Amino acid sequence: MSEFGGLRAPDRRIMVVTGHYGSGKTEFCVSLALRLARLGYGPYKRLALIDLDIANPYFRSRERKALLEQAGVSVYGNAYEHEITAELPALGANIRAPLEDRDCRVIIDVGGNDTGALVLNQFGKYLGEQDALFLIVVNANRPETRDVEGAMEHLRAIEIKTGRRIDGIIDNCHLLRETDAACIRRGRALGEALCRETGLFIWCDCYPEGLVPLNEIEDVCEHPMPLGLYMRPSWIDK
């Protein structure tokens, strides 16, 4: 695991990342792709990010296509070369290319709630338990997932719609630029409680790099994952 700088090594070629609106799912996907691009693809020759978020017109990973491709990450999603319209839910026919490429590690950013996750069903033949790791981002500061009951309801809804069991949890308790160590510890506590109820495991604990020093949380974070603020437009902070 050291080759990934303390982050848990992805043990399957395809990583499917789900999560509620506002959970930080897309920020995680972009940050993970850039991190793997720096640290290595493991046994694979290529790295791709597939944006399957057709439910939410805002904060989509393909909006950072130029940054990702400059780092060596291929980006798939929109059927159009440019984002000519935010609300047109059209996926490119070439999405299957990285899924079929056994030499390509793939991160899939799945849109929003259980309804957004329905799009996964058309790619089911690529997402068997031997090939794909299904992860769910949980943010204890989101109203829908602020407690075990709400998080479990969201998790089970995705499992029902996709017919696929969630494998692990990404703990990403944040308050954007107001995130502090106490916030991350609160998220970790929820993640541990959710694991006790479901038998799942925490795949990683996210923290905003540059805002929260790692030494303030490393005692509760076995596999810390630093996040950038790539998906946060500067006008939000004005």
Q: Would you give the DSSP letter of residue 235? A: G
Domain residues of the chain, as ranges?
7-233
> Smallest Cα–Cα separation from 205: which of 181, 230, 229?
181
The first and second tokens of residue 30, run together, are: 């972009």
CATH of 7-233, picked from 3.30.56.10, 3.30.70.980, 3.55.50.30, 3.40.50.300, is 3.40.50.300
pLDDT digits (tens, 9 = 90+) for 84-105: 444 445 566 689 999 999 999 9
Question: What is the reported pLDDT for 55?
Answer: 55
Q: What is the pLDDT of residue 113?
A: 66
210: left (phi over 0), alpha (psi -120 to 50) or beta: left
Residues 7-25 have pLDDT tens digits of: 777 789 999 999 888 889 9
pLDDT the model gives residue 126: 92
What number is the average pLDDT over the span 106-111? 90
Q: How far is CA 102 from CA 198, 209, 235, in A?
A: 31, 32, 40
| pLDDT the model gives residue 56 | 55
pLDDT at position 176, please? Answer: 85
Q: What is the pLDDT of residues 167-192, one digit of tens each?
A: 999 999 998 889 999 999 999 999 99
Contact 73, 131 (CB under 8 A): no
Interacting residues of 179 by C-beta distance below 8 A, sequence separation 6+: 173, 207, 208, 211, 212
In this structure, the strands spanning 132-138 and 168-171 are parallel
